[in-house]
């Protein structure tokens, strides 16, 4: 089957495309409740998902943006729940401040421990991560079980994240895990409902790294 169209793109220059996209997002989003500091995160999440409902559902702890910028500028580790999040996060921006991205879910010791305890690798990966990424950013876009385990570790005083970006997607425990995250008195970025995913977690962390870079 052959497709034919007379449509031609307005531009093929990457920066111009992004800039035009951001203009369209701002125009279509209209009035919103987000602060000037929070809006760049919302904008990049919508840009990554083309989903305004998802963007409007974002929820920020009052200290989330400053906490995220501080963690990046201090070179703290970023922990991803899955490789898709790790791959999408901009490494050069983090590396400017001595930071790096880590994912533990496929580590041999994590897989062996999960099998031994008959539990998920996502849970065990969080138990390992909190020992190695004190004060870091935890970016969870895929596994609600990872977020719930991280919340448990925080409540028990075993974890001290600088910021939790908790936006897992799905039908089983995804929305509920975010509701639990929003009850914590530590910096977080999350959203209401089932939507989310690795691209959303990536967009949020990348937005924070751009903000950190702009601080000079």
Annotated catalytic residues are 47
Of 146, 135, 137, 129, give the one whose Cα is nearest residue 41.
137
Q: Which DSSP symbol is given to 2?
A: -
Locus of tokens 């570790």: 153
CA distance 150 to 108: 20
**Whole-number Å distance between alpha carbons of 92 and 212:** 12
Question: Is 56 in contact with 190 (CB distance < 8 Å)?
Answer: no
Strand 163-166's sheet: what is its strand order?
58-60, 188-191, 163-166, 137-140, 78-80, 101-103
d(Cα 85, Cα 115) in Å, to the nearest integer?
Answer: 24
């Amino acid at each position: 089957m052959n497709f034919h169209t007379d449509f031609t793109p307005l531009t093929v220059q990457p920066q111009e495309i992004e800039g035009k996209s951001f203009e369209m997002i701002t125009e279509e989003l209209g009035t919103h409740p987000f602060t000037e500091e929070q809006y760049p995160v919302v904008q990049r999440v919508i840009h990554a998902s083309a989903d305004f409902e998802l963007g409007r559902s974002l929820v920020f702890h009052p200290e989330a943006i400053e906490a995220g910028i501080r963690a990046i500028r201090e070179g703290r580790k970023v922990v991803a729940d899955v490789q898709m999040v790790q791959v999408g996060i901009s490494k050069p921006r983090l590396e400017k401040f001595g930071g790096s991205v880590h994912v533990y879910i496929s580590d041999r010791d994590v897989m062996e421990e999960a099998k031994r305890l008959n539990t998920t690798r996502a849970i065990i990966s969080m138990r390992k991560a909190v020992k190695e990424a004190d004060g870091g950013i935890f970016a969870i876009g895929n596994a609600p079980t990872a977020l719930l385990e991280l919340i448990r570790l925080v409540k028990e005083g075993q974890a001290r994240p600088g910021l939790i970006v908790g936006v897992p997607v799905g039908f089983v425990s995804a929305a509920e895990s975010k509701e639990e995250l929003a009850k914590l008195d530590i910096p977080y970025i999350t959203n209401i409902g089932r939507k989310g995913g690795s691209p959303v977690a990536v967009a949020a962390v990348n937005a924070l790294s751009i903000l950190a870079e702009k601080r000079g």
